[in-house]
């Protein structure tokens, strides 16, 4: 087992073990660390998407009255993002001499493009683990539902739920088959009717059959992942007292999953996404509204610190 660290969170320098395209727009990054605090599925790390460099010692520079000081620290020169970028953990392996963390991200901008360019052996500065993860519910059957870049945390969750003795069925939705960060055709092909099959290597390795859905119908069930989940619940012989649902994805998908689970009384946890700055609860930049007993009926919580995972019943949409 890896040497545990006494910190519950902190800044760590990881080394890149591997970095490969997982599909047309996602990359799978495998990081190696000498130590890392315990983690739960649903937690995330805040990655500094720029070179790991020591903070420069203050140096003398000429500052003319009426002008701004000239930029000289690494984050104020060049195109390195100033703010860290939050990315979920897609997996973790504890080894005798360290820890491996898996991260799968979609390239959407300057930070994730920098991550995509990392080479084996290069250092990466990560802050974590952050946030509150999924809390396994006492139900024998688990549906893990991921949309787009919400799929990666579901891999880590599926592994943990299977290890806890739950039967896991995965639902993975993408705009098209080319944007799905999973390896298709492991043992079976995806079902166009929305039935779970052992069609993805990643979920099959975690003991879970998968329903693939695509918006353009290029792979698996043509339609939304929430529609496939609804169809499966209605058509299979799932006793609703046995099922719990865990989901991560874009807001409309989460709202649809909530609209399905809440009236049916199915326990459900949702991992929300917000733009984040500190990731630690300091900047107040990532709020979401949750229900409470106050006269106005709601209050703000912080997605980075109180979440990103919330019970379906507490979220105000």
Residues in contact with ligand FAD by CB under 6 A are: 44, 81, 85-88, 104-106, 108-112, 149, 152, 273-276, 308
CB atoms within 10 A of CB 177: 18
C-alpha dist (Å) from residue 105 to 58, 95, 113? 35, 24, 10
Strand 268-271: give its sheet, edge to edge. Answer: 221-222, 209-214, 167-174, 141-147, 243-248, 268-271, 309-311
Residue with Cβ nearer ligand FES (98 or 285): 285
Query: Is residue 190 within 8 Å of 220, Cβ to Cβ?
Result: yes
Query: Is 45 an interacting residue with respect to ligand FES (CB under 6 A)?
Result: no
The entry of ligand FAD, ligand FES, none that residue 275 binds, CB within 5 to 8 Å by partner kind: ligand FAD
Residue with Cβ nearer ligand FAD (107 or 189): 107
Query: Is residue 130 within 8 Å of 9, Cβ to Cβ?
Result: yes
Residue with Cβ nearer ligand FES (211 or 278): 278
The entry of ligand FES, ligand FAD, none that residue 278 binds, CB within 5 to 8 Å by partner kind: ligand FES
Query: Is 281 an interacting residue with respect to ligand FES (CB under 6 A)?
Result: yes
Residue with Cβ nearer ligand FAD (46 or 226): 46
Query: Is 304 an interacting residue with respect to ligand FES (CB under 6 A)?
Result: yes
Query: Is 276 an interacting residue with respect to ligand FES (CB under 6 A)?
Result: yes
The entry of ligand FES, ligand FAD, none that residue 229 binds, CB within 5 to 8 Å by partner kind: none
Distance CA 252, CA 290 (A): 17
Residue with Cβ nearer ligand FES (209 or 304): 304
Where on the chain is the footprint of ligand FES (CB under 6 A)?
276-279, 281-286, 302, 304
């Amino acid at each position: 087992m890896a040497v545990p660290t006494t910190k519950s969170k902190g800044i760590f320098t990881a080394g890149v073990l591997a970095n490969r395209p997982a599909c047309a727009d996602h990359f799978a990054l495998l990081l190696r660390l000498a130590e890392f605090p315990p983690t739960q599925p649903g937690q995330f790390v805040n990655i500094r998407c720029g070179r790991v460099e020591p903070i420069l010692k203050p140096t003398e520079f000429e500052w003319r009255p009426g002008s701004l000081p000239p930029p000289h620290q690494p984050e104020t020169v060049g195109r390195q993002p100033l703010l860290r970028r939050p990315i979920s953990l897609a997996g973790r392996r504890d080894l005798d001499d360290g820890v491996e963390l898996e991260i799968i991200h979609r390239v959407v901008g300057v930070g994730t493009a920098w991550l995509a360019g990392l080479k084996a052996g290069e250092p990466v500065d990560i802050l974590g683990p952050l946030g509150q993860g999924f809390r396994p519910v006492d139900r024998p059957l688990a549906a893990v539902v991921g949309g787009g870049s919400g799929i990666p945390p579901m891999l880590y969750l599926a592994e943990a739920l299977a290890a806890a003795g739950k039967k896991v069925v995965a639902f993975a939705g993408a705009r098209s088959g080319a944007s799905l960060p999973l390896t298709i055709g492991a043992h079976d092909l995806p079902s166009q009717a929305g039935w779970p099959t052992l069609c993805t290597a990643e979920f099959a390795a975690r003991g879970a059959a998968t329903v693939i859905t695509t918006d353009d119908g290029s792979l698996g069930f043509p339609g939304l992942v929430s529609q496939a989940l609804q169809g499966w619940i209605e058509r299979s012989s799932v006793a609703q007292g046995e099922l719990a649902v865990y989901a991560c994805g874009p807001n409309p998908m989460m709202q649809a999953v909530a609209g399905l689970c809440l009236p049916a009384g199915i326990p459900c946890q949702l991992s929300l996404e917000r733009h984040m700055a500190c990731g630690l609860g300091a900047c107040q930049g990532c709020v979401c509204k949750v229900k409470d007993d106050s006269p106005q009926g709601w209050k703000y919580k912080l997605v980075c610190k109180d979440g990103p995972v919330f019970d379906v019943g507490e979220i105000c949409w």
